[in-house]
């Protein structure tokens, strides 16, 4: 099972890298979202995908899955959600301001003071 999920993580990362290297800003944001997915899946996978009950204390259950990576993933998900929301709004504002979605056109050396 870990092998299978690892392959999926690899495919996700591959797609993320491909999308991040593209020109369109929205594709880049989709790429970063995929990258976050890959990272979160990796956290769950490296901790071991052992079979067991959900980590909720119930009488008579002795085998639980590891609760710690789930907490880590929950934290990482909300952080990446916040950052992605900010990134989307930033992309929207950039489109309004520079009227382009193409990263190739976002060049220049002038600084601002």
Partner 1 sequence: MINLPVFPIVIPALAAILMMFMPKRVQLQRAMALGALVMTAIVSLFLVHTVSTEGIQTLNLGNWQAPFGITLVSDMLSALLVTTSTLLTLFIVWFAVHYFSDSYEGNYLYISMLFLLVGVNGAFTTGDIFNLFVFFEVFLMSSYVLIVLGGRGVQLRESIKYLLVNIIASALFVMSVALLYGVTGTLNLADLAMKIPLVDNPDVITVIGVLFVIVFGMKGALVPLHYWLPGAYVVAPTPILAMFGALLTKVGVYSILRTYTLLFDGNGEFLQTFLMVLAVLTIFIGMTGAIAYNDVKLIIIYNIMIAVGVILYGISVNTQTSLEGSLYYLIHDMIIKAVLFMLVGMMIGITKSGQLRDMGGLITRFPVFGWTFFVAALSLAGIPPLSGFFGKLLIVSGGMDEGELFGPLLVLLSSLFVLYSVMKIFLNGFWGEAKREYDGPLVPYTKHLIVPVFLLLIIAVAYGFGAEAIHPYITQAIEPLVNPEIYIDAVIKE
Residues near partner 1 (CB under 8 A)? 20, 25, 28, 32, 35-36, 38-40, 42-43, 45-48, 68-69, 72, 75-76, 79-80, 82-83, 86-87, 90-91, 93-94, 97-98, 103, 106, 108, 110-113
Which one-letter DSSP state was computed for residue 104?
A: G
Please tell me the distance from the alpha carbon of residue 67 to that of residue 80, in angstroms, as a whole number.
20
* Residue 58 CB, nearest approach to partner 1 (Å): 22
What is the three-class DSSP state of 55? coil
Taking the least distance from each CB to partner 1, the nearer of 22 and 61 is: 22
- Between CA 66 and CA 45 the distance in angstroms is 11
Question: At its nearest, how many Å lie between partner 1 and the CB of residue 44?
Answer: 8
CB of 32: closest distance to partner 1 in angstroms? 5
If phi over 0 gives left and psi between -120 and 50 gives alpha, with beta otherwise, what is residue 108?
left
């Amino acid at each position: 099972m870990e092998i299978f999920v690892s392959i999926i993580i690899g495919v996700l990362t591959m797609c993320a890298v491909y999308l991040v290297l593209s020109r369109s800003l929205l594709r880049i944001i989709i790429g970063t979202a995929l990258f976050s997915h890959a990272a979160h899946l990796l956290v769950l996978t490296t901790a071991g995908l052992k079979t067991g009950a959900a980590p909720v204390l119930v009488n008579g259950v002795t085998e639980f899955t590891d609760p710690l990576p789930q907490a880590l993933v929950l934290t990482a998900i909300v952080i990446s959600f916040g950052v992605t929301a900010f990134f989307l709004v930033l992309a929207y504002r950039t489109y309004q301001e520079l009227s382009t979605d193409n990263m190739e056109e976002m060049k220049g050396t002038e600084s601002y003071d």
